[in-house]
Amino acid sequence: MPRFILPLLLALAGLVLFGHGAYIHAKALVAQVLLERAFTKTIATGRETKPWSWADTWPVARIEIKRIHASAIVLSGSSGQALAFGPGHVEGTPDAGEAGVAVYSAHRDTHFAFLKHVVIGDEIDVTRSDGRKFRYRADATSVVHFDTSGIDPLAGGHQLVLSTCWPFDALTPGPERYLLHATMIGSLPVSR
């Protein structure tokens, strides 16, 4: 009997780890459905709409990259709790379409996993919660240490940075961040 205990414990541990990973991805997918509904209602009513009653954040934008069929609803703030449900708009940076550098951050294994497929020249559409839509063109990438990004939110022009952990396929957290830099190329008709 004792020789079956170790394989049983290892199988149980594997099942728990698999379940935890599946839970994280399932939570991310379900959250985006609820966030999409809240974002649509926010645009229609002009009032911030929380995705669920106990949420301490709300949707502020939608990021879309049509070439790779990627879309994500962005939350206000970039706390760890907010990033569990979607990308976050980094505090202290302007909104998309405003002068300066708008920064959005998300996890590499869920909401910003698509960043590894973005290439220079791709168009990125950002729709704000007021319905205004802005188009950016990806023009550079960089890998930086988390506390030395070099991003100046008050820099001139109309810039966008999408940020996630690096490297993309790592299994453990690390100090490096992947930054996708983009420059605004125009605004699009208002969504309502």
Q: What is the mean pLDDT of each run of 10 residues along the chain (192 residues)?
A: 66 58 62 90 93 91 97 91 89 96 94 96 97 97 92 94 94 91 91 54
Identify whether 167 is preceded by a cis peptide bond (ω within 30 of 0): yes
For position 109, what pLDDT does the model report? 87
State pTM to two decimals: 0.84
Our measurement of the distance from residue 153's CA atom to the centroid of its chain's CA atoms, rounded to an integer in Å, reads 18
* Amino acid occupying residue 120: I
Structural domains of the chain, with CATH:
2-188 (2.40.260.10)
pLDDT at 10: 62
| pLDDT (0 to 100) of residue 11 | 61
What type of residue sits at position 159? Q
State phi, psi for 30 to the nearest 5 degrees: -65, -40
Q: What DSSP line would sit under 114-179, residue for residue? A: GGGG--TT-EEEEEETTS-EEEEEEEEEEEEETT-----TT-SSEEEEEEEESSTT-SS--SEEEE
Provide the residue count of the chain.
Answer: 192
